Amino acid sequence: KISDMKQYLPIRPETVDGTKIEVCLNVGSAEKSELELEEYTDGVGLFRTEFLYMSKKQLPTEEEQFEVYKKIAEVYGERPVVIRTLDIGGDKKLDYLELPQEDNPFLGLRALRLCFEMKPIFKTQLRAILRAGVYGNIWIMFPMVGSIGDIRFAKQIVEEVKQELDQEEVPYDKNIKVGIMVEIPSIALMADVAASEVDFASIGTNDLCQYLMAVDRLNPSVAKYYQSFHPAMFRLIKQIAEAFTSQGKPVSVCGEMGGNPQAVALLAGLGIRKFSMNASSVAPVKKMIHQLNIRKAERMARTVLELSTAVQVESYMNSELPQ
């Protein structure tokens, strides 16, 4: 079966009726093993940089980060590489960073919030990313954005870093694209405003589901309540997709749903044209896209938006697109 699947790796992801879809890779490093499918993908849709920090005994230096980001930018050339700034906290810890004990780490000081508190760490990473941008097509993405205020503050820090690089006459990508993860419901509901403030967005369905359903994504005793095929998810994603596409801003999906062929069909029906996924999903997703008719995808999406439960959505999808 796996070898059958391999034949789909080299195909251009396009639906039966000619709608082009981008298939990108989620990575956690610039190691060769992670980039094996580089030639079959349209870019990196999510570089989870926290692994760079977790694999060390101390904070990675600007230079260390610069080398990694430069390497991946060069490998992908003109194709975009979306580098997500540090998303630590929640389930991801750094031994060498003293952080307060929290009763609810997933609702606590994590990701962008932590970067705002520890500005020097944030700025070091932004310097490395901006500098590496000279060697390819890097886009900066902020995780766990909750408000328009978060966006403005993060952009202001990018501006500060740019000014410092200007003063030092250090080369960097002056036109780097800046975008956000949409993974907190409050910013999802403000997507129309958010879209006017950024260059692009990527929907993080893992956290979006966790925060929308109020279910810890790692807690097995409530796993059955973690329903990424709940109609509420698709209603919300529809709103996000429309807000960004109507303003001509790219919007992708980079959570686990972006690597699930049935979900990809539905999300394409809602207007999503870019998906980012783990390497193991590239062939199955390309196969789905290759066999999909966009009119059918739109019809399925319309149906799902009117269903009442996740169970109904799943059985409907199993009847329309048996796996």
The residues annotated as belonging to the active site are 254
Q: Which of 34, 42, 173, 207 binds Mg ion (CB under 5 A)?
A: 207
Which residue stretch of 178-186, 230-238, 268-276, 313-321 sits at the interface with Mg ion (rule: CB under 5 A)?
Answer: 178-186
Supply the minimum distance, in Å, between the C-beta of residue 254 and ligand PEP: 5
Which residue reads 């950024």 in tokens? Answer: 198
Dihedral angle over CA of 146, 151, 157, 160, nearest 10: -170
Give the CA count within 13 Å in the CB-facing half-sphere of 233. Answer: 28
Which residue stretch of 5-13, 163-171, 176-184, 314-322 sits at the interface with Mg ion (rule: CB under 5 A)?
Answer: 176-184
Binding residue per annotation — 219?
no
Identity of the residue, 38 or 87, whose beta carbon is nearer to ligand PEP in the bound complex: 87
Q: Which of 243, 254, 279, 283 binds ligand PEP (CB under 6 A)?
A: 254
Structure tokens of 178? 């800046």
CB 270 within 8 A of CB 61: no
Q: How far is CA 323 from CA 4, 111, 314, in A?
A: 15, 36, 11
Binding residue per annotation — 217?
yes
Q: Is 19 an interacting residue with respect to ligand PEP (CB under 6 A)?
A: no
Supply the minimum distance, in Å, between the C-beta of residue 257 and Mg ion: 12
Q: Indicate the DSSP class of residue 184.
A: S
283 CB neighbour count, 10 Å cutoff: 21
In the three-class reduction of DSSP (H, G, I as helix; E, B as strand; rest coil), residue 167 is classed as helix
Residue ranges in 193-232 that form contacts with ligand PEP under rule CB under 6 A: 204-207
Q: Give, for 309, the enclosing helix (H) or strand (E).
A: none
Query: Residue 182 pairs with which residues in a beta bridge?
Result: 203
Identity of the residue, 190 or 257, whose beta carbon is nearer to ligand PEP in the bound complex: 257
Cβ-count burial of 260 within 10 angstroms (0-12 exposed, 13-18 middle, 19+ buried)? buried
Q: Give, for 202, the enclosing helix (H) or strand (E).
A: strand 200-203
By a kind-dependent CB cut-off of 5 to 8 A, residue 110 interacts, out of Mg ion, ligand PEP, none, with none
Supply the minimum distance, in Å, between the C-beta of residue 279 and ligand PEP: 15
Give the CA count within 13 Å in the CB-facing half-sphere of 132. Answer: 29
Q: In angstroms, rounded to a whole number, what is the distance separating the alpha carbons of residues 215 and 71? A: 37
Count residues binding ligand PEP (CB under 6 A): 10
Q: Which of 45, 204, 259, 271 binds Mg ion (CB under 5 A)?
A: 204
Dihedral angle over CA of 164, 169, 171, 174, nearest 10: 50
Residue ranges in 271-300 that form contacts with ligand PEP under rule CB under 6 A: none
Binding residue per annotation — 207?
yes
Binding mask 86-115 for ligand PEP (x = CB under 6 A): -x----------------------------
Q: In angstroms, rounded to a whole number, what is the distance separating the alpha carbons of residues 27 and 155? A: 24
Q: In angstroms, rounded to a whole number, what is the distance separating the alpha carbons of residues 34 and 27? A: 6
Binding residue per annotation — 42?
no
Supply the minimum distance, in Å, between the C-beta of residue 181 and Mg ion: 6
Binding residue per annotation — 34?
no
Supply the minimum distance, in Å, between the C-beta of residue 48 and Mg ion: 9
Binding residue per annotation — 117?
no
Identity of residue 83: I
Binding mask 47-86 for ligand PEP (x = CB under 6 A): -x--------------------------------------
Residue positions forming the annotated binding site for phosphoenolpyruvate: 48, 84, 206-207, 217
Residue positions forming the annotated binding site for Mg(2+): 183, 207
